[in-house]
Each structure stands twice: as C-alpha cells, then as structure tokens.
Chain A
C-alpha cells in the first residue's frame, strides 16, 4: 500500500519510478540464497550494485555469555551450535583451547580419531557448501549428489557418537567414545566410495559453460585485501596466499600427515570453487593416512573430575572448514571460564562481501554469498 502511495507521489512530481536510478532493496532476512537469516541491504543502480550493508544478529544466542555461566565441560556442547555444519571442528577447537589452558595433552590415539572425524566433517561441510552454492547459481543436480554422499559421512558420525549434526564428539582431554567395531573399515569404504564422486561433481561443473560464466571473474579479492580484512580459509588461499593453520601451527596430529595446501591465483569465485574441490581431495588423503595407523592406547588424558584451569589466558585457533576459528579463554581459577571469546571465521569473512560485490550485478551477490561459505549460526553466535 505504501508502495502505491509513494508511486503516486512520484507521479505528482512528474517523475516515474523508472526514472530514479538508485534503488535500495532488502535481500533477506528470509531469502533462500542467504543461507540463513542474513539481511543484505543493497543499493542498486539498475542491475549494478553500488554498495551493500549486512544486517546480522538474527540468530544471536549469546554463546559467549552462556560460556561464562557454565563450567568448562558444560559449555562444550554449545560450541557445536555455532557452525552447525562443521560441529566437529568447533568442538575440536574448544577442547584443544581448554586443554592448552590446563596444560593437558590429548593422547595420540585420541588425536588420530580427532583428525579423522574433523576431516570427515570438512568434507561434509564442503559438500554442503558445493550443493547449496551450485543451487544458488542455478545448477540443481549437485545438491542431490552432495547430499547423497554427505549422508555417508553423517552415518559414520551417527555410528560413532549417536548424533549426526551437533555431534559433541570430543571431550576436554581426548574423546568420549572408543571407535566402534568396524570404524576403520567404514571409513576406508567411504574413501573408496567418495573419491569418484568428487570427480563426478567436477564433471558436472568444472567445464560447464554456465558455471564458468557465472563464477569466473566474479567476486574478485586479492591476497592483500584478504589479509587486511582478516579473511581466512579457502577464500584466502584462492587469492594465492598459501596459509593453512594445519601446516603453519599444527595442532592435533596434523604434523604427522602428508598433505598439500591447494591455492588459487585469480581470487575469484571459480578459483575458490577449485580450491575447495582440491581441499576435499586433500582431506581424503589425510583420512587415508590416519585411518590405517590409529595408534593403540588410551583415548583420554588424565583429566581431573572438576576442571579448574589455573589463572591465565589462552588463545588457540584451528583451521575450520571456513577459516580460522579461534577461542580466547580467560580463567580466573574457578570451574567456569571468566571469559570465552569465539573468533568465528564466518563473521569476519562476511565483512568482505561489500568489497567483493561493489560494481557487480545483483545476481553476483548470490554467487559471492555462496562462495564466502558462511553459516549464520556462527556469524551471530
């Protein structure tokens, strides 16, 4: 109704709607291509984007505040609810941060199990990204393929710990569960199953003309711009910066495995796609090395029943599927953290959206949001 009124008003001024060249529209918060409740205010000149502003916080649950009011152990399941498509990574980062704060070391067997599950989760996260990203751009088939294959990963999670999505797979000091009977076999079977599937995705997309046209040269960002904006993960690597925390500052058992850091050169959406596809293959490589030689031994370190880390502060970060996921913990010597700060990759990476879409077309905004691979649960916490 108000639209009609303003339209009339315009006519009164002897001007039509078509004459005005600047237009401000809302994309979201309920929009299928924003992957959750993200609202992007777009300033447009016809099809051209003049600027954007992100409005976030719709999913804010006060995770950091909750952390201050729970014991270290009780807060552990909450972190799974941030990046819920990569819950295992979230849990790993948190557990390792608390372990560091307490001066604990997870036993080697636990570290191997952690690496296997985290890499499986990276695959699951990248598959979900690929399916939805391709769907946004108009290719509907990859979604079915990736969800079909992601299911196999979730089945392994379910068999391991009973949960599929918010797994809470790890505990402070190691793992809660021993691997189930036939775990190695299942994982190896999955590796054999999924390797040709990744070829299949690539067959569908890599040389697909529509895909290439929609992604090449879209959402350009240089390495320097990435660093200035704090952008990490595949986005940074696709811009040519060879940096992966698994290599730069290895955690868990990553220093024991042989793998490469795939990088791109152009820093556009197509390169980011290629980098993530290569990363999936590297994850397979890591899992393949790990699953064959899981060491025997305990899966839990000697953890006191009541966790009271000594007074101090720690920052620990891991390479989550989306970038650097950091935890800054402050202990006052009590059973609860004095401060829990989560440094989420999605939140920081989303900042780059405005820079990446300025001057591009509206349709490219959808592609760029997809290629940034954000999860709103983590952006808003």
Chain B
C-alpha cells in the first residue's frame, strides 16, 4: 500500500495515487457536503486535520501469538493491533493449519467473513482475509495471507461450513480458487460470466458484453 498523503490537502483532486485503477478512474468531486442548516455548534471550517497524525499498527502481545510464534517461527509474519483490532499475517502455506488451530485450540468458533483484497502491483496479488470471532473470549481476530494469482488457498469449508458461500463469493469476484471446496462455482454472477469484477483491473463500467448480448439481447447492460 502506498504510504504517502497523510495530511489532507485542501483540494481533493488527487486520486491518481490509487493503485490499479487504470482506465476506470472517475473524476472525484469534492467530498464535502453543504453545512447543515441551523445547527448551532458546528465547526465552521475544519481546516486543520482533526485526526491524529498517522496511527500505526503496534505489536500485538498475547499468549496466543507467542504460542503460534513458537510453533511456526517466521511463518507468523506479523501480529499487530491497529485501532484496537488484532490481526495476524501468516505465510500462505500454513494458513489453513493456523485457522484449524484457531478454532480447535483458541476457540474461535465463528468464522465471520472470508474475503479478499487485490493488489495488482504486488507479486503475490491477493490478500485473503479471514475474520474470526470467539464467543468464549468475546474477541475478534483477522488472519491474513498473501496468495499469487492462480495459487489455490485451501478451503476452510472443513473448519467452518459457513465458508461455503463466502469462498464462492471470493471466487466469483476475484477468481481465487479454493482447493477442496465442495461446490466452487459463481454465486452472484451468472455461471458463464467472464472476468472477475472486484479485481482492480476490471473497470467500473466494464461488463461481459458478449454475455449481455447473448442472454439479454441488448448491446449493453448500462
């Protein structure tokens, strides 16, 4: 992720630093709204940045992380807390094992979400993100792993059946194939659709025009 532009400049004319949006970038209108009428104590002109300058993730110290570190060493690439939320970045080869342990030993029995983020400029393009929750500890953790395009993460369907549709959606939107998934096919888009819309190289108005023409009988769905 680019690490520039920490201070908000007055003009919102730069979105060129957004990676992987070539061709599909739209002009960004000013993000401000007209001030609400008749609100007495409204800050008139928030010229100064109200947020603290650059919060950074801090190391996440816990017994659980120590245990994982002992077991996997450098396989646990990062364990941090950002804005009070804990996450771990692990090597792609051990992510399934780590998740299994998370459920069995650490009682993270509820898999909230499985999703992905696309970074086209990276060698390993995808972050696969698992959001976990433990009822016993009332705690949330995110586990992240990087995967290259075409690399197949192991499905976590065998750990949490809820991953069925969540992984299907990640496959549908990013083209990440989860190995061992019992029924990996598109879920939201038509099964014969071409392209993976949430990849950064897929434009905002792009579509499978061939599909649209054949199935809807029109030139464009837009």
**Which residues of A come within 8 Å of B, CB atoms?**
56-57, 60, 62, 64-66, 68-69, 71-74, 100-104, 171, 176-178, 227-231, 241, 243, 248-249, 297-315, 317, 324, 326, 328, 330, 332-336, 338-339, 341, 343, 347-348, 350-351, 380-381
Contact = CB atoms under 8 A, between A and B. Distances in A.
In order of increasing CB-CB distance, the 7 nearest A-B pairs are A230-B162, A57-B188, A302-B50, A305-B32, A306-B12, A298-B41, A71-B31
Interface stretch (B14-22, B59-67, B94-102, B209-217): B14-22
Contacts of B190: 57
B109 interface: yes
Per DSSP, are chain B's interface residues mostly helix, strand or loop, or mixed?
loop
A271 to B, nearest CB: 19
B67 to A, nearest CB: 23
Given A243-B135, A348-B162, A332 B17 contact: yes
Contacts of B2: 311, 332-333
Given A69-B26, A306-B10, A332-B19, A351 B198 contact: no
A249 to B, nearest CB: 7
A299 B135 contact: no
B115 A341 contact: yes
Given A311-B1, A332-B2, A339-B117, A74 B31 contact: yes
A335 B26 CA distance: 12
Contacts of A348: 162, 165-166
Contact of B46 (A62, A305, A328): A305
B19 A229 contact: no
A347 B172 CA distance: 15
A62 B36 CA distance: 31
B24 interface: yes
A230 B42 CA distance: 42
Contacts, number: 196
8 contacts: A56-B187, A304-B8, A305-B8, A332-B2, A335-B28, A335-B31, A348-B165, A351-B165
B21 to A, nearest CB: 8
Contact of B198 (A65, A177, A304, A328): A65
A176 B161 CA distance: 41
A1 to B, nearest CB: 22
Which of B6, B18, B52, B129 gathers most chain A CB within 10 Å? B18
B188 A334 contact: no
Given A103-B55, A306-B30, A341-B115, A333 B41 contact: no
A32 B35 CA distance: 43
Given A303-B50, A351-B165, A228 B115 contact: no
A297 B41 CA distance: 7
A298 B51 CA distance: 18
Contacts of B58: none
Nearest to B135: A243
Nearest to A224: B109
Contacts of A57: 186-190
Contacts of A101: 83
Contact of B24 (A69, A74, A338): A69
B38 A104 contact: no
B49 interface: yes
A57 to B, nearest CB: 4
B192 interface: no
B160 interface: yes
Given A103-B83, A171-B33, A380-B188, A335 B12 contact: yes
B30 to A, nearest CB: 7
A73 B110 contact: no
Contacts of B113: 315, 326, 328, 341, 343
B111 interface: yes
A230 B131 CA distance: 11
B18 to A, nearest CB: 5
Nearest to B51: A103
Nearest to A381: B188
